[in-house]
Chains A and B, each alone.
Chain A
């Protein structure tokens, strides 16, 4: 029973850890499906986390914080869109610039406003997204086996966690079953086909990039208002890049993207769990080695286990009409 409780605890923590990855990975999905490579996920999440923490702190409302996070991330997404779509710039360079700008700007402004070494004021109460307890969770928790699943895996997460699931459902449906989704899938493969069919490539790609911005806004808000109680310097810690790795692993599909992010969340949860644990025959594993585990697994999974992952054919290529 103790093992079962541990398992439930690990899964519960996996869900919490995978939420920002799911949002970021879906953001990458939309952007890359439309043909815009987005390595600026990290930066967009970071500005969103900062803006959310700042706005939530000022207004004592997590939802206003979320709105501010979305606005900040969409602004950065539009900068990337302008460089990549309108100016036909190099999308990698633009993405790197977004990341550097976000890292520098959040640290600088954070220090200037709050003078706490880049942190924002700690948030509490309404300024945070706290776990929601579903009806009867405490009672049902007592039922063996099934009870903890309801109480800890289904109930007990912040509203943003349920939003992540909804975003996955919506992304999968829209991409597969709607006119807009068909056009997005087509424009990332062969923009000329979309153009000659009489549909604007530019407008499609901007829309996709804005959707990516909104999703990054959710991801960032979750980091500073859900997972933590405020903004910390560089609190994204490479999650944007892990999300990109997950996107490749999922071969640019929404549901696999969610499950891959859950897998990465699981690795993270296991790593946390293993800290300070003595492994028979090896002894206590250094904390640093444990912390490196998810990243190491990312490399191994990407290198060996995904088989052939073919990105959308036109992703990363600016669309120029042929002569």
Chain B
């Protein structure tokens, strides 16, 4: 009998269908992986299983019994424990207080504390999960904080353990230890669900693997019968190849050099490890990779949003950290950035289209005098751009939020392209954009390249990378795993590189 059987799970958030008709069966005593890109709906599905959200439709069976899980409390009651990606810990409290929270065993703490202390000692002995119960959680290294999360679940008697991206904050050594623990747990009859987008982890530790894409469950496979390449294909999915006609690149001098770049995030974990590449005028360099492998951090470092830990970024031979450390100064130097997430970084959705159209360029002489903005000049400029980029509706005073995704993207694109970049960094230019707009955006990027702009294109859409790029680099786990040209590679080859397999596929 399966430990978990989910049938026909649907969940909507407003317009977004986070899960649609998802079925999932997990065998008891196994480690079951769920892979998919960021936003594929993995976390939502697990949140439904843990009672954080209730599904709009569908049924949940645990060990054969149909259950309704409306809150984490009910999930705990049926034996489900969860280790969240962002730890659900209270930093200033001790380990024992954190483990005890919600399972205190009485109005006074003293009795429950003894009980939990004994339970922790036993778990430490059984699974090698030793921890100082009186340590302050906020002062522990992340690996041990994660251990506290696992202990929280086990102390509550969980026999199904869900781990959401558990290795995101771990060092490789810590990850190895975690995997060994997961195998031990499974061998003792516990059921483990591992959510990740790292394929090698799936291959290393799971018995079965399910692939999600855009809210749907597209495949469930036996891990031994599959390969990273096959999983990468399933994750990214195949789309109709958009035909982009472009002539050969007329290469100019090197515009942007990235020299041994190392980036650590705020948790001090390495996101980009020693990355170097050049982009020349008149070429599009495609950067492929499964989302979350360091591309976002690389992009933000190039744009000046975050500061790299080590290494240099050179624009026409000048070290940008010296001459132009901030995004605004980089714009002045001709390095423009179209962010991955237009809603969060590219636009202010409460602003009018005209205001969004001049964001970052509001001090240009064209848009006003001194501290005053000229709304007529801004509107005239916006109307002109709207005609040029076919942004609909053509209403410069309409709120940015009222435009469709494609038209919003065109606003950002128009704003940056019309400011004459030397180097253009483009993140996910066609995410959430309708097919017509995709074609238009692709043509603009090609035209820009032909005009001699150096373009770095970051996309999780392999087709987009294949059809636009003159050269392709692939990132996996923060390093460049390979460089190809579109003529000498194929999806399968790139898929392997995206999975971190560096031997050349045939």
For the complex formed, measure the closest distance between the CB of A7 and the CB atoms of chain B, giving whole angstroms: 39
A148–B101 Cα distance when bound, in Å, is 48
Which chain B positions have C-beta within 8 A of A196?
50, 52, 72, 82, 84, 88
Which of A181, A183, A198 has the most chain B CB atoms inside 10 A of its CB? Answer: A198
Indicate if A134 sits at the interface (CB-CB under 8 A). no
Give the shortest distance, in Å, between A226 (CB) and chain B (any CB). Answer: 33
Cross-chain contact A179 with B76 (CB below 8 angstroms): no
Least Cβ distance of A175 to chain B in Å?
11
Are A177 and B104 touching (Cβ within 8 A)?
no
B43 (CB) vs chain A CBs: closest residue: A323
Q: Is the CB of A189 within 8 A of B90?
A: yes
Q: Which of B101, B103, B107, B152 has the most CB of A within 10 A?
A: B101
B109 pairs with A198, CB closer than 8 A:
no
- Whether the Cβ atoms of B89 and A190 lie closer than 8 Å is yes
Contacts of A192 in B (CB 8 A): 86, 88
Chain A contact residues: over half helix, strand or loop, or mixed?
helix
A-B contact count (CB 8 A): 76
What is the CA–CA distance of A259 and B100 in the complex, to the nearest angstrom? 31
**Residues of chain A lying within 8 A (CB to CB) of residue B75:** 198
> Considering only CB atoms, which chain B residue lies closest to A190 in the complex?
B90
Whether the pair A183, B101 counts as a contact (CB closer than 8 A) is yes
- Nearest A residue (CB) for B51: A198
B368 at the interface (CB under 8 A from A): no
Whether, in the assembled complex, A194 has its beta carbon less than 8 Å from a beta carbon of chain B, the answer is yes
Residues of A within 8 A of B103 (CB): 197
Q: List 20 other contacts, CB 8 Å, given A189-B92, A190-B88, A313-B91.
A: A180-B107, A182-B93, A182-B97, A182-B100, A182-B101, A186-B90, A189-B93, A190-B89, A190-B90, A192-B86, A192-B88, A193-B101, A194-B101, A194-B102, A195-B52, A196-B52, A197-B72, A197-B101, A199-B101, A323-B13
From B44, B82, B112, contact of A179 by CB (8 A): B112
For the complex formed, measure the closest distance between the CB of A110 and the CB atoms of chain B, giving whole angstroms.
42
Distance of A190 Cα from B98 Cα, bound (Å) = 11
Residues of B within 8 A of A199 (CB): 73, 101-102
Neighbouring B residues of A313 by C-beta, 8 Å? 91
A194 to B104, CA, bound (A): 12
The reply on B110 being an interface residue by CB < 8 A is yes
- Whether B108 sits at the interface, judged by CB under 8 Å, is yes
Asked if B141 CB lies within 8 Å of chain A CBs, one says: no
Cβ A178 vs Cβ B84 within 8 A: no
Known contacts A189-B92, A196-B84, A199-B101, A179 near B106 by CB under 8 Å: yes
* CB pair A321 B101 closer than 8 Å: no
Assess whether B109 is in contact with A178, with CB atoms less than 8 Å apart: yes
Closest B residue to A310 by beta carbon equals B92
Return B146 CB to nearest CB of chain A, in Å: 14
Q: Is the CB of B101 within 8 A of A177?
A: no
B362 at the interface (CB under 8 A from A): no
Cα separation A195 to B75 with both chains bound (whole Å): 12
A16 at the interface (CB under 8 A from B): no
Contact across chains for B72 and A177 when beta carbons are under 8 A apart: no
- Alpha-carbon gap, A181 to B72, bound state (A): 21
- Return the chain B residue nearest A173 by Cβ: B108
A193: B residues at CB distance < 8 A: 88-90, 98, 101
With a 10 A CB-CB cut-off, give which of B86, B89, B92, B152 has the most chain A CB atoms.
B92
Whether B71 sits at the interface, judged by CB under 8 Å, is: yes
Instruction: Determine whether A185 belongs to the interface, using a CB cutoff of 8 Å to chain B.
Output: yes
A198-B108 in contact (CB<8A): no
Closest 5 CB pairs of A and B: A197-B102, A198-B73, A179-B104, A193-B88, A196-B88
- How extensive is the interface on chain A, given as a class? 20 to 34
Closest Cβ of chain B: how far from A97's Cβ, in Å?
24
Q: Which residue of B lies closest to A183 (CB)?
A: B101
Q: Interface 1/0s, chain B 28-59, versus A by CB < 8 A?
A: 00000000000000001000001011000000
Cα–Cα distance between A113 and B90 once the two chains are bound (Å): 50
Q: List 29 A-B contacts (CB under 8 A).
A: A177-B109, A178-B107, A179-B106, A179-B107, A179-B108, A179-B109, A182-B109, A183-B101, A185-B92, A186-B90, A186-B101, A189-B90, A189-B91, A189-B92, A190-B88, A190-B89, A192-B86, A193-B88, A193-B89, A193-B101, A194-B101, A195-B52, A195-B72, A197-B102, A198-B72, A198-B102, A199-B73, A313-B91, A321-B52
- Docked complex Cα distance between A316 and B444 (Å): 46
Residue of B nearest to A187 (CB): B90
Q: Give min CB distance, A294 to chain B, whole Å.
A: 31
Residue from the set B44, B74, B108 with the largest chain A CB neighbour count within 10 Å: B108
Residue numbers in A under 8 Å from B109 (CB-CB): 177-179, 181-182
What are the residues of chain B within 8 A of A197 when measuring CB–CB? 72, 88, 101-103, 152
Minimum CB–CB distance for B266 against chain A, Å: 16
Collect the chain A residues with CB atoms within 8 Å of residue B101's CB: 182-183, 186, 193-194, 197, 199
* B 143-154 to A, binary, CB cutoff 8 A, 1 in contact else 0: 000000000100
CA distance A186 to B90 in the complex (A): 6
Q: How far is the CB of B125 from chain A (nearest CB, A)?
A: 24
Would you list which residues of chain B between 109 and 123 have a CB under 8 Å from chain A?
Answer: 109-110, 112
CB-nearest residue of chain A relative to B76?
A198
Identity of the chain B residue whose Cβ is nearest the Cβ of A179 in the assembled complex: B104
Please indicate which of the listed interface residues B50, B86, B97, B109 has the most CB atoms of chain A within 10 Å of its own CB.
B109
A321 CA to B13 CA, complexed, in Å: 13
CA distance A10 to B449 in the complex (A): 82
Specify which of B50, B84, B102, B104 lies most central, judged by the most chain A CB atoms within 10 Å of its CB.
B102
| 8 Å CB interface, A154-200 against B | 177-183, 185-186, 189-190, 192-199
In the complex, residue of chain B having the shortest beta-carbon distance to the beta carbon of A176: B109
Say whether A178 contacts B108, CB under 8 Å: yes
A136 CB to closest chain B CB, in angstroms? 37
Within 8 A of B (CB), among A237-288: none
Give Cα A193 to B99, complex, Å: 11
Q: How far is the CB of B340 from the nearest CB of chain A, in Å?
A: 18
Give the shortest distance, in Å, between B357 (CB) and chain A (any CB): 29
B92 nearest in chain A by CB position: A189
Residues in B neighbouring A194, C-beta threshold 8 A: 101-102
Q: Which residues does chain A contribute within 8 Å of B92, judged by CB atoms?
A: 185, 189
- Given A198-B72, A199-B101: A185 and B93 within 8 A (CB)? yes
Cα(A313)–Cα(B137), bound, Å: 15
Q: List residues of chain B with CB within 8 A of the CB of A181.
A: 109
Q: Report B77 CB to chain A, min CB distance, Å.
A: 8
Residues of B within 8 A of A180 (CB): 107
Specify which chain A residues have a CB less than 8 angstroms from the CB of B74 in the assembled complex.
Answer: 198
Q: How far is the CB of B74 from chain A (nearest CB, A)?
A: 8
A112 to chain B, nearest CB (A): 44
Q: Find chain A residues with CB under 8 A from B108 CB.
A: 177-179
Q: How far is the CA of A179 from the CA of B76 in the complex (A)?
A: 18
* A262 → B minimal CB distance (Å): 26
B contact residues around A198 at 8 Å (CB): 71-76, 102
CB closest residue in chain B, given A186: B90
B102/A190 in contact, CB under 8 A: no
A323 to B12, CA, bound (A): 11
CA distance A199 to B152 in the complex (A): 14
